[in-house]
Chains A and B, each alone.
Chain A
Amino acid sequence: MSLTNERIQQRLTEKFGDVLTGFEEPFGMLTFTAQKDYNLKIMQFLFDDEELRFRFLTDVTAVHYPERKGEELAVVYHLHNFVDNVRLRMKVYTPVASPKVFTATSLYQSANWMERETYDFFGIDFVGHPNLIRILNVDEMTYFPMRKEFPLEDPMRTDKDDEMFGRGGHF
């Protein structure tokens, strides 16, 4: 019998109880929020359990919500069970002031670069990561460019002198 979202939710709540909140199913994918100190324990359980078998880490990324005080950064994990072909999404919120989250590199090799990328763009400090350095941006950078306080330039701005940009100024 294939694994259903209800069954996964049931197994997870049995094991972790109040640690997990916000269960929902946007577009059919089971999504929940975990307390950040438990992220590794939950992934370990999802990995080891003979019924759940989430042994493929599809993706790790982060989202910045500046208006959520005390939990500005969300780390999002997408896990996949190849046998039953089920995916799930786990979110962990962490304050931007000390964005410390446990690394998943001990469970999944693939987490290594994906976490480095997440660190590079959002500044999530993955505790226990073997080599947490910038990956796509230059090493000298001191900020984390995907955060919302660094908006891209407004394409509609008019104060720019086009002549300086090779587009001819006057029509």
Chain B
Amino acid sequence: MLDQKQHIKLPEGSIEKNTTTLNLGPTHPATHGVFQNILEIDGERIVSAVSTVGYIHRAFEKIAERRPYYQITPLTDRLNYCSAPINNFGWIMTVEKLLGLELPKRVEYLRVIIMELARIADHLICNAVMGVDTGALTGFVYLMTYRELIYEIYEEICGSRLTTNIGRIGGFERNFTPAAFEKIERFLKEYPEALKEFETLLTRNRIFMERTQGVGAISAERAMSYGFTGPNLRAAGVDYDVRVATPYSSYQDFDFSVPVGTTGDCYDRYLVRNAEMWESISIIRQAMDKLKGLPDDVYHADVPAYYLPDKKDVYTKMEALIYHFKIVMGETDILPGEVYNAVEGANGELGFYLISDGGRSPYRLHFRRPCFIYYQAYAELVKGAMLSDAIVCMSSLNLIAGELDA
């Protein structure tokens, strides 16, 4: 890329041949993962930008072609690792859609709770890091405590924190423990206070506003053309949320609104994410209330052909042993079919396009990664902006390298 001649149109009034090529990333501390941006700058003003990706590409789609369905869930963890449970459930729901499975209400509500916790974890990191990138570390420290608490909740439920591998085809691997519910209650009680404090710190902060308002703005038409989804699209004023447009799991049972911005700049993206966190808290509250009227021992659907049986049944019952063997050896019949299933990931529409030929692994699995699709707009967003804006722009887009490269 570097040896290619760059056709640079200089801004008016600048001295000819006075631009510098600057590599922002892949090891710059503000590029969070591995994003290389080759910027052509005139003084501090960015004249053009070229984005390069692919540094951590690890062939998710190819590996998936060799694995049984339930072994693909751990692969999805590594995509958007800030909100791994949403990826897990997105994939599991795709398989369930293909198989036509119906889940008990309690399982759906539990899933909604976990997905919304994951959304909060993702948004709080994004917004807090945006504060760090503009020079405010305190807010980050305030909120990190609560990401920790969310990870503890995951840990109670599935035993791991970052790469969760949460959920199974048909439900959850085990029931939620009382400690998990206690921690969720604690989160619901404490987090709103912290979020309020965080908002007080940043939202009307003069420096933060100066650094983000009018920076990296994109119109609704351009955003749609670039394939933006999620908070980035909503910040530009397009009211599109997969949870509302095509409800999945049990989102139709919940009452929540979709925050929409107006200008599509970094500040609006920050506001939309903050507002979404409040909505997520409200959804979790509603789900916790709804759970109260339901029997508390249901955590998976009755689908023995796809759901791994209890270990003690495997040792004592012939049927359970057979199903266990068939699932583990990947000999369960998966129906042939073609399905596209989308969920609202933390940074946009997360789609799984699955073609099954009836074999033990997908014939083809394609993953619609929101990050990958809208990162190409970055060059347009920073064109003409200052070098420092390039950093804010990047953090406000919520780019996750794992998902970008897949």
Question: What residues make up the interface of A, taking CB atoms closer than 8 Å to B?
Answer: 26-27, 29, 31, 55-59, 61, 63-64, 76, 78, 82, 85, 87, 89, 108-110, 112-114, 117, 121, 134-138, 145-146, 151-152, 155
Contacts and interface: CB of A to CB of B under 8 A. Distances in A.
Interface string B212-248: 0000000000101111000000000010100001100
A89 to B, nearest CB: 7
Interface in B356-376: 363-364, 366, 368, 372-376
A113 B376 contact: yes
Interface in B259-284: none
Interface residues on B, range: 35 or more
Given A29-B340, A59-B368, A109 B225 contact: yes
A121 B363 CA distance: 15
The CB with the most chain A CB atoms within 10 A, among B98, B246, B339, B353, is that of B353
A145 B57 CA distance: 13
Interface string B171-182: 000000000000
A131 B340 CA distance: 28
Contact of B340 (A78, A85, A155): A78
A106 to B, nearest CB: 11
Given A59-B366, A82-B238, A117-B372, A89 B405 contact: no
Contacts of A134: 54
B21 to A, nearest CB: 18
B54 A136 contact: yes
A72 to B, nearest CB: 13
B227 A61 contact: no
9 contacts: A27-B337, A27-B338, A27-B339, A59-B340, A63-B355, A76-B353, A110-B226, A136-B57, A136-B406
Nearest to A63: B364
Nearest to A108: B225
Contact of B376 (A61, A87, A110, A121): A110
B389 interface: no
Nearest to B364: A63
Nearest to B339: A27
A58 B376 contact: no
B339 A26 contact: yes
A58 B229 CA distance: 9
Shortest Cβ-Cβ A-B pairs, 5 listed = A110-B227, A136-B54, A136-B57, A61-B366, A109-B225
B245 A110 contact: no
The CB with the most chain A CB atoms within 10 A, among B57, B339, B376, is that of B376
Given A26-B339, A61-B366, A145 B59 contact: yes
A135 B227 contact: no
B351 interface: yes
B189 interface: no
Interface of B: 53-54, 57, 59, 61-63, 65-66, 97-98, 222, 224-227, 238, 240, 245-246, 337-340, 342, 349, 351, 353, 355, 363-364, 366, 368, 372-377, 405-406
Main secondary structure of the interface of B (DSSP, over half): mixed
The CB with the most chain B CB atoms within 10 A, among A61, A121, A145, A155, is that of A61
Contacts of B246: 85
Given A64-B364, A109-B225, A145-B59, 20 more contacts: A26-B338, A27-B97, A29-B340, A56-B227, A58-B227, A76-B353, A78-B340, A82-B238, A109-B227, A109-B376, A113-B372, A113-B373, A113-B375, A113-B376, A135-B54, A136-B406, A137-B57, A145-B62, A146-B62, A152-B65
Given A57-B227, A110-B373, A136-B54, A87 B340 contact: yes
B222 A146 contact: no
B137 to A, nearest CB: 33
Given A27-B337, A110-B376, A136-B405, A61 B245 contact: no
A44 B226 CA distance: 17
Contacts of A61: 353, 366
B404 to A, nearest CB: 9
A155 B66 contact: yes
Contacts of B376: 109-110, 112-113
Given A109-B225, A145-B59, A152-B63, A58 B351 contact: yes
A116 B227 CA distance: 15
A109 B340 contact: no
Contact of A114 (B57, B66, B355, B373): B373
A25 B20 CA distance: 54
A108 B223 CA distance: 10
Contacts of B98: 27
Contacts of B405: 136
A95 to B, nearest CB: 18
A135 B52 CA distance: 8
B101 to A, nearest CB: 13
Contacts of B373: 110, 113-114
